Amino acid sequence: MVDNNNGEGNHYPAVKQKRSWLIPLLLGMIIGILIVAFAIPEVINFTKNDGEEPELDNEQTTKTAQVNYDVTTQITDVVEDVSSAVVGVTNIQLQEDFWQQQDGDEAGTGSGVIYKTEGSHAYIVTNHHVIEGADEVDVILFDETNVKAEVLGADLFSDLAVLKIDNKKVEKAIKMGSSDSLKVGEPAIAIGNPLGHMFSGSVTKGVISGTQRTIPMDFNQDGRADWQAEVIQTDAAINPGNSGGALINIEGELIGINSMKINQTAVEGIGFAIPIDAAQPIIQELEETGNVTRPYLGIELYSLDEVPKSEWERSLNLPSEVEGGIYIWSIEPLSPAEKGGLERLDVITELDGQDINDTIDLRKVLYQDKEVGDKIEITFYRDGEKKEATIELGKQE
C-alpha cells in the first residue's frame, strides 16, 4: 500500500505541473492574436501611403495650398513702366479714284516715342522714313486708341521727325537717358511694333554691340552713299515696324531711336539706333521751327571717284599729286559759293585744312563743325592751278 500511495503521490504532482504551463500558453496565444489583429492594418496602411498624408474622414475639410511664383524682374518692371510711352505710327497717303474722291491708303507703319507732354499736347519722335510722303499720320496709343497726328517737322539726314497729338489719352512720357556714356556689353531693350500693329508693344532684349558706328546712307538710291550716319549698334532685334521705336537702358531711360537693321540673309543680330544725345538738339529744332538749319555752299557736286581717272587730267587739268576731291558741276545763283568766287568744274580738295575726298567728307565738315554765318577756307584746283578762297556760309532752306 505504501508503495501504491507513493506511486499515486508521484502521479498527481505530475498532472498538476502539466496544467500550470498550458494556461499561460493559451493566454499568450490569445494576447498575440489580439496584438496582430490591431497592428497589421496600421502597418499595411502606412506602407500603402508610404509617408503620404493619411486620408481624411468625410467630416474633415481638405485644404489646397496654392503656390505662386514671382517672375517680376528689373526688366519686367522697366518694360511695364516704359511701354505706354511707345506708340504705333501709320503713314497714310491719299489716292483719288475715277470720281476724284480721295481715299486714304496705309503706305507704311512704324513706331514712335512720346518724349514730352506740355499743356494739352504730347510730342512724339519717330523716323523721317516712317512718315515720308504721308498726307496724314495716325498714332496708335498703348491702349489701341487711334489719334490723328500733326507733323511738326522732319529731317532727311538725321532720319528724325517730330509729331504732335492731343494728350487726353496719353499716360506718360519716357525718361531721357544719355548715349554718350554707353558701354559695349551693357543691356539694351528695344520696344516697338514689328511687322505692323499686329505685334504692337513687342519687346526684344540684347546688349550694346558697338557705339559710334558709321553707316552709309543712300538717299537717292543711286548706289552711292550720300551721308554717313552715326549710330548705336545692338543685337536686340529691330525689324520692319520697329523704326522710330525706343531703345532703352536697364533703368528704362531712352538712349536711342531705333532706325534700321542690316537686311542680309547671312546677317543676324545687327540693328542700329540713332544716339539720343545726337538726336535731342535736332528734335528740339524740329519741334520749334519745323526743320533743321544747316550751313550750305550752294553747289551741286560729285566725287572725283565718279569720274574716270583718264578725265582727271584731260578734262579737269588736275596735277598728278591730287589723289581725291570733289568737283563742282553747277552753282546756284547768289549762293555763298558764287559770291565767294567758285566756278563750275573747280575741284575742292580741302576745307579748313581737312582733306576732302568725297561728298560725305564735305557734309561732315559743314554739318558737324560749322554754323550758318561761319567762314570756311576752301582749297581747290582750277585749270590745274591750286587756289584758296574764304567763304561765309549761308543758310540751307
Q: List residues with catalytic annotation.
A: 129, 159, 243
- What span, in angstroms and rounded, lies between the C-alpha atoms of 127 and 245? 9
All cell numbers assigned to 276: 539720343
Specify which residues 112 forms β-bridges with: 87
CA 314 → CA 91, 310, 311, 343, distances in Å? 50, 7, 5, 18
First to last CA, the chain: 160
Q: Are 377 and 352 in contact (CB under 8 A)?
A: yes
- What span, in angstroms and rounded, lies between the C-alpha atoms of 90 and 130? 8
Task: Compute the C-alpha angle 211/214/215, nearest 5°.
Answer: 125
The residue among 263, 258, 384, 220 whose CA lies nearest residue 313 is 384
Helix, strand or coil for residue 143?
A: coil
All cell numbers assigned to 377: 577756307
Length of the chain in residues, anyone? 397
- What span, in angstroms and rounded, lies between the C-alpha atoms of 255 and 276? 5
Q: Are 114 and 140 in contact (CB under 8 A)?
A: no
Q: Which residue has the cell 561761319?
A: 374
Q: Residue 228 half-sphere exposure, CB side, CA atoms within 13 Å?
A: 12
**Residue 77 gets which letter from DSSP?**
H
- What span, in angstroms and rounded, lies between the C-alpha atoms of 107 and 126? 16
Task: Compute the C-alpha angle 324/330/332, nearest 5°.
Answer: 125
Exposed/middle/buried for 262, CB within 10 Å: 0-12, 13-18, 19+? middle
- What span, in angstroms and rounded, lies between the C-alpha atoms of 95 and 259? 28
